[in-house]
């Protein structure tokens, strides 16, 4: 971490998944992230018309990275993109998964977290990132 990092850095992660209508599926995907210790789910905002849900998570760097990976993994397991239709453009079961510095961490650190999670998604799940 960079010199401006504090003892307890916090990172926000806002993955967007391609499911906005089936609450049971959304709940299972969110639960995969929420199961990671030290990660809090701040918001779950499903949209039926867009068939997309925006999820807001917060936690320390390593746990938030793990939570994001687990969420992407569960979304890939549960969302069938071959039948997906919605008003919003979509690129996969998880469209985007940004990491945002909240406190005690820099944007450069968040970029490194994103790169690490992206590499893991590609290596372990075979999903292009």
Domain assignment present for residue 104? The answer is yes
Spatial contact of 79 and 17, defined as CB atoms under 8 Å apart: yes
Domain that holds residue 35: 10-125
Q: Which of 16, 18, 100, 104 is nearest to 64 (CA)?
A: 100
Provide the residue-wise pLDDT of the chain in tens; the chain has 129 residues.
444 445 799 999 999 999 999 999 999 999 999 999 999 999 999 998 888 999 999 999 999 999 999 999 999 999 987 676 665 666 689 999 999 999 999 999 999 999 999 999 999 999 999
Phi and psi at 88, nearest 5°, equal -95, 140
Number of structural domains in the chain: 1
For residue 101, give the CATH number of its domain.
Answer: 3.30.990.10
- The region that residue 51 occupies, defined by phi over 0 for left and psi between -120 and 50 for alpha, beta otherwise, is left
Spatial contact of 98 and 129, defined as CB atoms under 8 Å apart: no
Active-site annotation holds for 51: no
- The pTM (predicted TM-score) of the whole model is 0.91
Domain assignment present for residue 75? The answer is yes
Domain assignment present for residue 3? The answer is no
Catalytic residue, chosen from 51, 84, 88, 91, is: 88
Q: Tally the residues of the chain.
A: 129
SS3 96: strand
Domain assignment present for residue 1? The answer is no
């Amino acid at each position: 971490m960079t010199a401006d990092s504090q003892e307890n850095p916090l990172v926000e992660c806002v993955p967007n998944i391609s499911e906005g209508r089936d609450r049971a599926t959304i709940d299972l995907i969110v639960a995969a992230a929420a199961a990671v210790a030290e990660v809090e789910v701040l918001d779950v905002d499903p949209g039926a018309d867009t068939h997309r849900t925006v999820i807001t998570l917060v936690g320390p760097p390593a746990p938030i990275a793990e939570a994001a990976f687990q969420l992407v993994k569960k979304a890939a397991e549960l969302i069938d993109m071959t039948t997906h239709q919605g008003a919003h453009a979509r690129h996969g079961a998880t469209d985007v998964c940004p990491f945002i510095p909240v406190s005690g961490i820099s944007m450069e650190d968040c970029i490194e977290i994103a790169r690490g999670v992206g590499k893991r998604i590609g290596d372990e799940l075979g999903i292009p990132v």
